[in-house]
Every structure is written in C-alpha cells, then in structure tokens.
Amino acid sequence: MAALPPYVGPLGRAWHYGFYLICGLVLLFLITPILVIIPLSFNAEPYFTYPMPGFSLRWYQDFWASDMWGRAIRNSLIIGVAATILATTLGTLAALGLAKPGLPYKGVIMGILISPIIVPLVITAVGMYFFYSSLGLANSLPGIILAHTALGTPFVVITVTATLVGFDYSLVRAAQNLGASPARTFFKVQMPLILPGVISGALFAFITSFDEVVVVLFLAGVEERTIPRQMWSGIREQISPTILAVATILILISILLLATLELLRRRNERLRGIRPT
C-alpha cells in the first residue's frame, strides 16, 4: 500500500483506507463460494455442510477411478484443444484483416464477429442445435468442436486486434521490399510481435470451451459429455462430493491460466516499451 502524501487531510485519509476496505469486501464476496467449495472437497463424509468430521482424499480418488469422469476429461480435452486451434487460426486471420486501413464496414464486420459473446448463450445454443442437426452433426464431437470454435473466435479477434493497435506496418513493407513472401513476412515479422495477443486469445478460447455447458446440453449425447456437462448431470441425478473435487481442480486450472495471461500481458507491455503495471 503506497504511503499517502503529507498534504492529505483526515477526510482524504479516511476515504483512502475506506476505499481499500470496500475493495477487500467486494473481493471477499466474490471468492467466498470458492473458499467454501475447496475445503468441502476434502471432507471425509459425503456431506456438504460444516463442520467437517475429518479430511480425506477419497473424492479425488473416486474422480480419477471413475470411467465416466475419465471419458468427460478426454472429451473436454479433445474438444477444447481442437476448438482452440480452429478459433485461434480464424480469429487471428480475421483480426489481421480488420487491422488493415481502409477496410469498408469495419464496425459492422467487427460487430458480427463478436456477436456470439453478446447474444444470450441459450439463443445461440438453440440456433446451433437446429443448424447442426440439419447437417447431421448433433450428438457428435465435430459438431461440438465447431460450436465451441464459434464461441471462442470472438475472444481471439478482440485480443489480437488490441495487440495490433499501433503496429508499425513499415516493418512489413520493409520485409516485402527485401523480397520476403507474404507468408514469410507474417511468420517472421508480424507473428513474433502479436504472439502474446494470439496466445492470450487462445487461452480465452480454451477456457470458454472447457467451461461451456449450455451448448453441450443441446448438442452432446451420452458419449460426448464434457466435464461441465457431467458436473451438471451429477448435481441433478446423484449429488456427490466428487463434484466438489472436480470443481477444485478446475479452479486450480483457471488460476494457472489466469497467471499465464498476466505474464503474457506484462511481456506484451515490455515489447511495446510500456512500463508493466
């Protein structure tokens, strides 16, 4: 906490420390559900209440030994990785096109590209269900991968577009004048500079796919259940603390991804000559 200047009066000091108190209370309100879930995942008994009679790893053991959860992990990884690759490729190409000066109807195109994160998800899921059903892709992994690609692409477009703001296109023209092909120019000049934004967008796309459940409810069959879909079914059909163990693992994964995003943000600022905040 930074020291206050000597000219700050009692009212300013009260507001300063009150502001930190308010921020702390808001943060506590946001993380309280997480603080409640994590200890309960180590409960020795199948209870969802405190006090706990003891600590045990039995629910984590049940998670790793379960065939249903194993299938859900495999499906989530396959769908998440495939959707991330497709979303990153399409989003990066779209962002490069939007970054070109003089592009007509740029605002309209940008609005259409980011519409999947604006339109209510249940409406998008219903539309995807009818569309992919007509193509015979419902109840299949390819259908879910394509659906999650549509949901993750806007995040890649936004992050890569933000990275391209202020990009020095004289570097591209210099490479072309030296005889480099468009593909070589992209991979040797542009890609190293926009790589932090591309990776950030890919992580956002992966998180979106890995945590998504509404579209999966419409498009997935029994064999295509993902981890969020399995958790939703477990809550409705058979309440078990195994769900809390899975939630704790997902929280740890999310923390690692967010830490990676923060490191990439700082690296991007250093590349741009901005002092990291």
pLDDT of 237 over the 70 cut: no
3-state secondary structure of 55: strand
Q: What is the CATH number of domain 68-271?
A: 1.10.3720.10
Residue 23 has pLDDT above 90, yes or no: yes
User: Does residue 152 contact residue 87 with C-beta atoms inside 8 Å?
Assistant: yes
CB 33 within 8 Å of CB 248: no
C-alpha R_g of the chain: 23
The residue-averaged pLDDT of 168-172 equals: 77
pLDDT value at residue 89: 93
CA 226 to CA 222: how far, in whole Å? 10
Cα atoms found within 13 Å of the Cα of residue 178, Cβ hemisphere only: 11
Here the tokens at position 78 are 């396959």
Average pLDDT for residues 8-13, to the nearest whole number? 76
pLDDT value of residue 231:
83
pLDDT, position 2: 59
What is the residue whose two structure tokens read 């932090």?
Answer: 196
d(CA 31, CA 39): 13
Q: Which residues of 50-77 are buried (b: 16+ CB within 10 A; e: fewer)?
A: eeeeeeeebbbeebeebeebebbbebbe
Q: What is the pTM of this model?
A: 0.80
pLDDT of residue 47: 73
- Residue 83 has what pLDDT? 95
Model pLDDT for residues 136-147, shown as the tens digit of each residue: 888 889 999 999
**Contact partners, residue 88, CB within 8 Å, separation at least 6:** 156, 198, 201, 202, 205
Q: Closest Cα partner for 242 from 19, 43, 27? A: 43
Higher pLDDT, 63 or 155: 155
Q: In this structure, which amino acid lies at residue 253?
A: I
Angle (nearest 5°) at CA 75 between 69 and 79: 150
The pLDDT, as a whole number, for residue 276 is 52
Residue 254 has which token pair? 């999310």
For residue 43, the SS3 value is strand
Q: Residue 60 corresponds to which amino acid?
A: Y
Q: What angle do CA 57, 60, 63 make, to 5 degrees?
A: 150
**Cis amide bond preceding 51, omega within 30:** yes
Residues 64-121: pLDDT tens digits? 888 888 888 899 999 999 999 999 999 999 988 888 777 788 888 888 888 888 888 8
Q: Quickly tell me which residue has 């890569």 as its tokens.
A: 160
| One-letter amino acid of 170 | S
Per-residue confidence at 277, pLDDT binned at 50, 70, 90? low
In this predicted structure, the answer to whether residue 185 has a pLDDT above a threshold of 90 is no
pLDDT band (50, 70, 90) for residue 186? confident
